[in-house]
Amino acid sequence: MMRLRIVRFSQPVEGGIIKVPVEGTTRSGFDFDIDKLYMMKYQYMVEEGKFSKQERNDIWDAFFSTERGKTIKEAIDDYRRSGKKNEEKIKYTQDHQKGLISDKEYKELVEKLEKEEVSFEDAWNAVTEKLHINLSIKDAFEEGRRKVGYEVREEITSKYDVSKSPLENSVAARNNMLVSIIMARQEDPDTFDMRQTPGGFVNLSRSASFMRVLKSGDKEVKEALEGKGEKTLDQLIKENERPEYDYSDPWTMIIYNQ
């Protein structure tokens, strides 16, 4: 079992194949015959609507790069720094002088005002009205989207609701939960070593090398077993291990099947 991330796509002439890392031989026990492999991925729907955070930043950067956008952005920055706070503070001061609010209420309102951050929407509405620019946030965003060339889209992934029973969750939500559980299991350090040697192929390879050395009946082997030789048994096994072949090379199959 492997977690895969797509890094690039092959040419269409190569057909419906997937090229996996060479580590797949160790991780998943690929043995170079024709096996069935199954792929699991999160289920999601694509609908019109939202963009990623980075895409939204790109869209607003595109809009604010226009002459009108630059004017609005400068005004918004100034307004968010002091504009609204000054306007409301003047109002509170006038109400306080008229006796409409007490000294304590006035102090609390001013302190709260200093801590508040003006929202982008409030600043936009105030600035565009003051500049006599009839442009909504939605229309400005659409203008930036067209300028940067992004398509309208939204990814919706079905998430499992643990407060509901399995049957109350959708099939997509249950499948996505299963994928999450499998991925979490693969991150378990207690089973890491077992996942690196599926089927015990690494141990079998060493056993095969050991048998080849014993079968040879060389004098060096006998001396190594008796502990009298210049080389240890491990050294002899290592010398008799098969070379590392490139499994993507057709000649490898020819060598293995001679």
Taking alpha carbons only, the member of 146, 178, 187 closest to residue 160 is 178
Chain segment 103-146, per-residue pLDDT in tens: 888 778 777 766 666 778 888 888 898 888 989 998 999 899 88
Residues 6+ apart with CB under 8 A from 233: 210, 213, 221, 224, 225
3-state helix, strand, coil in the chain (%, to 5): 60, 5, 35
Q: Give domain limits for the chain.
A: 53-154, 198-256
Judge whether residue 25 has pLDDT over 60. Answer: yes
| AA identity, residue 142 | E
Strand-pair partners of 157: 44
Chain segment 182-225, per-residue pLDDT in tens: 888 777 777 776 666 655 556 666 777 777 777 777 777 777 77
Distances (CA, A) of 171 to 43, 73, 162, 175, 176: 10, 46, 14, 6, 9
Taking alpha carbons only, the member of 20, 17, 16 closest to residue 7 is 20
The pTM (predicted TM-score) of the whole model is: 0.37
Burial of 196 (0-12, 13-18, 19+ CB in 10 A): exposed
Confidence of residue 154 (pLDDT cuts 50, 70, 90): low
